[in-house]
Amino acid sequence: MEFKLPDLGEGITEGEVIKWMTREGDQVKEDQPIVEVMTDKVNVQIPSPRTGRVAKILVKEGELAKVGQTIMVIDEAGSATHSATPPAPAPKPAVAAPAQVQTSPPAPGVLAAPATRRLARELGVNIASVSGSGPSGRITDDDVRRSASGPNSSTVAIQASAVSPAEAPREEVVPLRGLRRTISDRMAKSLRTTAQVTHVDEADVTELVLLREALKGSAEKRGVRLTYLPFIIKALVPALKEFPYTNAALDDQGGSIILKKYYNIGIATDTEQGLVVPVVKDVDRKDIFELAGEIEKLSSKARSGQLSLDDVHGSTFTITNVGAIGGLFATPIINIPEVAILGLHKIAKRPVVREDKVEIRDTTYLSLSFDHRVFDGAYAARFTTRVIETIQDTKKLLAEVL
């Protein structure tokens, strides 16, 4: 039978074959994981739909395959039950065979994310020999690169002819693959297919800082770490309801704007492998402590490469938070097919004029990038103002967060 790349949902149209877990001639069993594929959402392991022998692998590791494209041919007549000559036993999978598509787990004894393992393969590094510097001994991309810099490195390098052989290479060529290529494609498509504009405004978050400090103890008793993000998410809810075109998608082919009546917030998360966007569902129905716990859980899964398809499915509006890193403000790129994204930035003490007096207050900048095809600048300004009003008013914020 022809084994085609299945429809993984969420509008996914293609995936990159990261790793084959079997070879031509091997026996495979139904539901045995046989291939790891990276989509524009998450890494998944895909199980075999049949028991049989692998007759042909048609897509190599590192190549893209379209949904519905044949990636392997399985000879069902060549299964162990039909073969005249007993075949060699199939390799034992690293994990129990799943009944459905699942995210890829780390191999036994080696803690490393899938993208880190792929980097090791590309650089010719035996990942089992690498010492991990991350939490619990997890191997990071930097650990792999340090190992690759030794005498057995297979890194592709270009050196100008005028450089002495004793000098280190002055350039390095890094293949644009995996999640980095996916991010590249999605960002370029977003800018190419939408009319993006960014609106920036300033918020006085002095009261928010005090409120978070007052509620941190309650959060700790619930076993969660309370950041500013849950407060911002709750401040978004009334604004998204009042300005529904911000919580929408544009159907170009159908010539319509789809207004979403549910509120699922994507959280752009920085990982060693690149940017991923786990989704907190139904934020209007959860208090800040529930949101804090869910954000913490999803962030941990993102950084360890364990997000499922459900974890990245169904966002209606996205937040990108770079406040902990620094910077005044930025112009975030819309997470298509959404029509807006809110950038959160560093909170700092700044001089503010209040009633003709200069005071030192905690302030931050909010940057809203939006698709001008769906709504205009005045609408974006009113939406951002509504968010800021809730953030700055303790009574309004308390009404939303608890």
Peptide bond into 337 cis (omega under 30): yes
Task: Supply 188's token pair.
Answer: 């370029």
| Side-chain half-sphere CA neighbours of 265 within 13 A | 27
Angle, helices 114-122/178-193, rounded to nearest 10 degrees? 110
Query: What is the bridge-based pairing of β-strands 340-344 and 317-321?
Result: parallel
Inter-residue contact 68 to 5 (CB < 8 Å): yes
* Catalytic residue chosen out of the listed positions 82, 313, 345, 372: 372
How many of the other CB atoms lie within 10 Å of CB of 85? Answer: 4
Task: Supply 61's token pair.
Answer: 């590791």
What type of residue sits at position 364?
A: T
Nearest to 41 by CA among 291, 309, 327, 267: 309
The verdict on whether 372 is a catalytic residue reads: yes
Residue with tokens 């592709």: 156
Inter-residue contact 280 to 269 (CB < 8 Å): no
Which helix (DSSP H) or strand (DSSP E) does residue 296 occupy? helix 288-303
3-state SS assignment for residue 161: coil
Residues that are catalytic: 372
